[in-house]
Chains A and B, each alone.
Chain A
Amino acid sequence: MIGLLQNLVDAASLGSLYALAALGVGLLFGILRLVNFAHGDFISIGAYALIVPSFEVTAQLFIGTWSWWLMIPTITLIVVIVALISDALVFRPLRRASAPTLMIASFAVSYVIQTGILLVYGARPKAANLWAGLDTPLMVGDVRVPLLQVITIVATLVLMAALTLFLKRTRYGTMMRAAAEDFRMAQYLGVRGDFVIGLAFAISGVLATAVSLLYLSQTGTLSPTMGVPLALFAFVATVIGGMGSLLGAVVGGFVVGVVVIMLQAYLPADLRAFRDAFAFTFVILILLVRPSGIIRTRALVERV
């Protein structure tokens, strides 16, 4: 029983990360019909921006040593700028391109960013210790809950609430929802397409930064391809949730988190190395049962 509770806490914390990543992916998909492979690499950039560029195996924190109120905005700014640049250089010239073309383009952006990281920081994984103090466990009854997991879950809830308020209560949010539903019609009404898309890239950059920081402080390792499985799980979460729905992306993120943690906990030891393979297989199976996802909608944010 306690073991199960412990696993559920782990699942909620991991699911939060996937849900945040999936929100970033889902937002861009909703507005641009872009499956953004580079989202994982935005996450990597957020993590690598914390450390001193070098080929050393142990990463030395640079921006990472700043106090959090200065560090978080700085890293966010860096990731947002990278996201906006990739839009301006690659995706903006491809506005009229088909969905497969956009997908290939984002795959190329992703691979180029990975190569860029490799050029500056080397190919080997690095260890980094961000927010070491947050490992302290809190005891809730008999369940050990690391403070970091609490922070992860709370940060995710806060970000989700903020995003919902933004989308529902502000004029820019309303524009984004309109554009997600019928991009051309929104343009006919004077909504600037490039602006809305830029905004979506910026927000997905903010969400990616949150994942970078939380993920790095949980795992303590960096590698040029660290974002790939995150992006992949995020895609999978958006597909399970029903593509184009943000609520679906969140639900999908948590489903994936639960699946991964349960596999980790209950797979026989010699199969645990194949955890991700099992998780993806499971997802393909879910899609067989519900090809259009758990939630079917055209809306970016559901009406409650």
Chain B
Amino acid sequence: MLEINDIHVTYGRLRALKGVSLSVRQGEIVCLIGPNGAGKSTTLAAVAGGVVPHRGTIVLDGKPLAAGRPEQTARLGLSLVPEGRHVFGTLTVAENLRVATYMRRDRAAVAADYERVLNLFPRLKERIGSPGGRLSGGEQQMLVIARALLTRPRLLLVDEPSLGLAPKIVDQVYEILLAARKAEGLTLLINEQSSHRILKHADRVYVIRNGHIRLHDDAAKLADGEAIKRAYFGFGDEPAAADEPEEEAA
């Protein structure tokens, strides 16, 4: 479904991605894990059109995506839930949700989707008239996921859904993601910093560090976590790979 081939991204002089390749098949849950600044968010932003790779291609359903055109990419059924939630704080919950439906042509289906998604998130229904900025962190995370679902994506990219949330809330977030996946037939690509929760749900795992993919395998084969730990922290790397001193990606 999604093929990322050897993409390179630089911010000024900082090389954030140095040739990342990754693929996601229809219906899968793929997880990209890596330490802070490894290039996880940049990878997802590049797919969604938010940053422009200076090399490499991104192919969705056999067709190359135009780089740097987020609004077009969204119309192709790819939705990004970026890190840090990005709720429109002064818009109400209802308005936040509605913004996501404006690009859709199927007005009739929109109304039905709106009801259905709200039923997935009863908490949002209660707070439908409050400004997004007044919601708690967990509620905001629900809101951005609900909002992304309303764009009717086939592929949903979620950037660190557990960031800054209490473990109990994180469990809820994952329950909802899995429920939505079942209900909507979603394919998921999720970024996380740590592997322990995601290994239960993911089909395949990529480990990224320093702008390179260091490891890629089926989740089942990585269940003991040893290989992931090695790739994550860079033990056993040949010296050449850990060469240039690097600034952290923002």
Return the chain B residue nearest A186 by Cβ: B99
Say yes or no: is A187 at the interface (Cβ < 8 Å to chain B).
yes
Per the bound structure, the CA–CA distance linking A302 and B96 in Å amounts to 16
Q: Which of A182, A190, A192, A301 contacts B88 (CB 8 A)?
A: A182
Q: Which of B34-42, B73-81, B190-198, B235-243 contacts A (4 or more CB under 8 A)?
A: B73-81
B84 to chain A: closest CB distance in Å? 10
A187 to chain B: closest CB distance in Å? 4
Q: Is the pair B70, A299 in contact by a Cβ cutoff of 8 Å?
A: no
Say yes or no: is B137 at the interface (Cβ < 8 Å to chain A).
no
| Contact size range, B | 20 to 34
B36 to chain A: closest CB distance in Å? 21
Q: Which of B71, B91, B98, B147 contacts A187 (CB 8 A)?
A: B71
Per the bound structure, the CA–CA distance linking A175 and B96 in Å amounts to 10
Return the chain B residue nearest A184 by Cβ: B50
Say yes or no: is B46 at the interface (Cβ < 8 Å to chain A).
no
A154 to chain B: closest CB distance in Å? 29
Which residues of B in the span 59-108 have a Cβ within 8 Å of any Cβ on A? 70-71, 74-75, 79-80, 82, 86, 88-91, 95-96, 98-100, 102-104
Say yes or no: is B138 at the interface (Cβ < 8 Å to chain A).
no
Say yes or no: is A185 at the interface (Cβ < 8 Å to chain B).
yes
Q: Which of A171, A181, A187, A188 has the most CB of B within 10 A?
A: A188
Q: Which of A187, A299, A302 has the most CB of B within 10 A?
A: A187
Question: 12 A-B pairs, CB-CB below 8 angstroms?
Answer: A171-B102, A175-B99, A185-B82, A187-B70, A189-B99, A190-B103, A190-B104, A191-B103, A298-B89, A299-B89, A300-B90, A303-B90
Q: Is the pair A189, B98 in contact by a Cβ cutoff of 8 Å?
A: no
Given contacts A188-B48, A188-B82, A303-B90, contact A178 B99 (CB under 8 A): yes
Q: Is the pair B95, A189 in contact by a Cβ cutoff of 8 Å?
A: no
Say yes or no: is A177 at the interface (Cβ < 8 Å to chain B).
yes
Q: Is the pair A191, B99 in contact by a Cβ cutoff of 8 Å?
A: yes
Q: Is the pair A190, B75 in contact by a Cβ cutoff of 8 Å?
A: yes
Per the bound structure, the CA–CA distance linking A42 and B49 in Å amounts to 34
Which residues of the partner chain B approach A192 to less than 8 Å between Cβ atoms? Answer: 71, 103
Per the bound structure, the CA–CA distance linking A188 and B44 in Å amounts to 12
Contacts A178-B91, A181-B90, A189-B148 supplied; 7 other A-B pairs, CB < 8 Å: A177-B91, A185-B82, A186-B88, A189-B99, A189-B100, A189-B103, A189-B151
0/1 interface trace, chain B 131-154, chain A, CB 8 Å (1 if under) = 100000000000000011001000
Which residues of the partner chain A approach B86 to less than 8 Å between Cβ atoms? Answer: 182, 185
Per the bound structure, the CA–CA distance linking A298 and B90 in Å amounts to 8
Return the chain B residue nearest A302 by Cβ: B90
A240 to chain B: closest CB distance in Å? 21
Which residues of A in the span 265-304 have a Cβ within 8 Å of any Cβ on B? 297-303
Q: Is the pair A190, B91 in contact by a Cβ cutoff of 8 Å?
A: no
Q: Which of B49, B99, B131 has the most CB of A within 10 A?
A: B99
Which residues of the partner chain B approach A303 to less than 8 Å between Cβ atoms? Answer: 90, 131
A164 to chain B: closest CB distance in Å? 14
Return the chain A residue nearest B102 by Cβ: A171
**The 3 A-B residue pairs with the shortest CB-CB distance in the complex, in nearest-first order:** A190-B103, A299-B90, A190-B74
Q: Which of B82, B96, B151 contacts A190 (CB 8 A)?
A: B151
Given contacts A184-B50, A184-B70, A185-B86, contact A174 B99 (CB under 8 A): yes
Q: Which of A175, A181, A188, A189 contacts B50 (CB 8 A)?
A: A188
Per the bound structure, the CA–CA distance linking A175 and B70 in Å amounts to 15
0/1 interface trace, chain A 154-198, chain B, CB 8 Å (1 if under) = 000000000000000001001101100110111111111100000
Per the bound structure, the CA–CA distance linking A123 and B79 in Å amounts to 54
